[in-house]
């Protein structure tokens, strides 16, 4: 991860993320070694089991561990690493819960013996906050609301057939809404619920940008699997009748998606300037630069094969 000055994330954040990611698996292993064995096999398909924090501290990942860290520093100009470790354990467990649920909903091949892990993942995600907030604390209303947004939008998203920008913003890009719960925890712990909306809006907009990036990166596998995304629906709407969806994507789609993402990134950077977090501003600059570089390479490749894409091999009947 990237630090403001050196180009990498600050070492203490990395060390805290490593401790948290390891603790999630170690604690689970003490209680259920056989289930943990199955979980590690499932995780091995997605990243390093020996360094589970790498997935969450990769520059291209959704920064669910870093945002609460930056928020706490913006409020009190320091970071309570014990508190942040707990938040990270919760967020990592919540991510595993959501990812496994996605695998089930998307029909991915999944060893059914690992599915019971949903119980301890969600339990750890929620129970972490019992240490900081009593049952009557207004934090729990936010916890419940954000959890239900994630659940409702995931349900609606699974039924969408024709997706345009409205559906994408309201549903597809809102499935990660529960990721803002640790932001709420920081705000309520320090008596600053007044700034939660600002940080929550930034998180929601970043989730939208990040989802579009994922859909752009995964367009071929989504296309082959028959998955519906805004990107692929837009390709279907905009392509000329004799033109295939892959041909439209190479001719115009990459640039179309880049323009959408650039517009959202402009909004993100403007919002970030009001949050007193230079680390966040620097991070968004890194994400913009790396993504623009990636899309630039895609555009150059698409241009170089334009003649090939026009051949009959890549055409489909209207």
For residue 310, the model assigns a pLDDT of: 53
Confidence of residue 298 (pLDDT cuts 50, 70, 90): confident
Contact 129, 77 (CB under 8 A): no
- pTM recorded for the entire structure: 0.90
pLDDT, tens digit, 9 for 90 and up, residues 241-269 = 888 999 899 889 999 999 999 999 999 99
Confidence of residue 316 (pLDDT cuts 50, 70, 90): very low
For residue 50, the model assigns a pLDDT of: 82
Confidence of residue 194 (pLDDT cuts 50, 70, 90): very high
pLDDT, tens digit, 9 for 90 and up, residues 19-60 = 999 999 999 999 999 999 999 999 988 777 888 899 899 888
Which of these, 285, 270, 256, 275, lies nearest to 59 by C-alpha position? 285
pLDDT, tens digit, 9 for 90 and up, residues 101-140 = 988 887 788 899 999 999 999 999 999 999 999 999 999 9
For residue 307, the model assigns a pLDDT of: 55
Q: Which residues contact 50 (CB under 8 A, 6 or more apart)?
A: none
% of the chain residues with pLDDT over 90: 73
Contact 302, 235 (CB under 8 A): no
For residue 317, the model assigns a pLDDT of: 41
Which of these, 14, 18, 21, lies nearest to 66 by C-alpha position? 14
pLDDT, tens digit, 9 for 90 and up, residues 132-183 = 999 999 999 999 999 999 999 999 988 888 999 999 999 887 889 999 999 9
Residue whose tokens read 């398909």: 45
Question: Has residue 297 got a pLDDT over 90?
Answer: no
For residue 318, the model assigns a pLDDT of: 38
């Amino acid at each position: 991860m990237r630090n403001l000055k050196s180009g990498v994330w600050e070492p203490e954040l990395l060390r805290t993320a490593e401790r948290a990611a390891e603790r999630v698996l170690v604690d689970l292993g003490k209680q259920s070694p056989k289930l943990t064995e199955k979980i590690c096999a499932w995780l091995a398909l997605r990243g390093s089991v020996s360094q589970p924090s790498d997935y969450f501290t990769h520059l291209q990942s959704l920064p669910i561990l870093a945002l609460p860290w930056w928020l706490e520093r913006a409020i009190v100009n320091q970071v309570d690493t014990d508190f942040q470790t707990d938040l990270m354990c919760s967020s990592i467990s919540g991510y595993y819960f959501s990812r496994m649920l996605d695998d089930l909903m998307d029909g991915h091949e999944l060893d059914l013996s690992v599915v019971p892990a949903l119980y301890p993942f969600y339990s750890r995600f929620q129970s972490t906050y019992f240490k900081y907030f009593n049952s009557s604390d207004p934090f729990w209303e936010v916890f419940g609301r954000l959890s239900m947004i994630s659940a409702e939008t995931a349900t609606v998203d699974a039924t969408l057939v024709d997706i345009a920008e409205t559906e994408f913003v309201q549903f597809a890009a809102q499935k990660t809404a529960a990721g803002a719960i640790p932001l709420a925890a920081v705000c309520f712990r320090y008596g600053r619920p007044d700034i939660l909306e600002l940080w929550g809006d930034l998180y929601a907009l970043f989730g939208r940008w990040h989802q579009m990036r994922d859909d752009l990166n995964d367009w071929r596998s989504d296309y082959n699997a028959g998955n519906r995304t805004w990107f692929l629906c837009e390709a279907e709407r905009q392509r000329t009748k004799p033109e295939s969806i892959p041909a439209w994507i190479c001719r115009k789609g990459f640039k179309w998606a880049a323009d959408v993402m650039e517009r959202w990134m402009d909004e993100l950077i403007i919002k970030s300037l009001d949050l007193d977090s230079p680390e966040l501003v620097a991070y968004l600059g890194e994400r913009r630069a790396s993504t623009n570089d990636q899309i630039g390479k895609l555009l150059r490749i698409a241009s170089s094969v334009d003649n090939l894409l026009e051949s009959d091999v890549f055409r489909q009947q209207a």
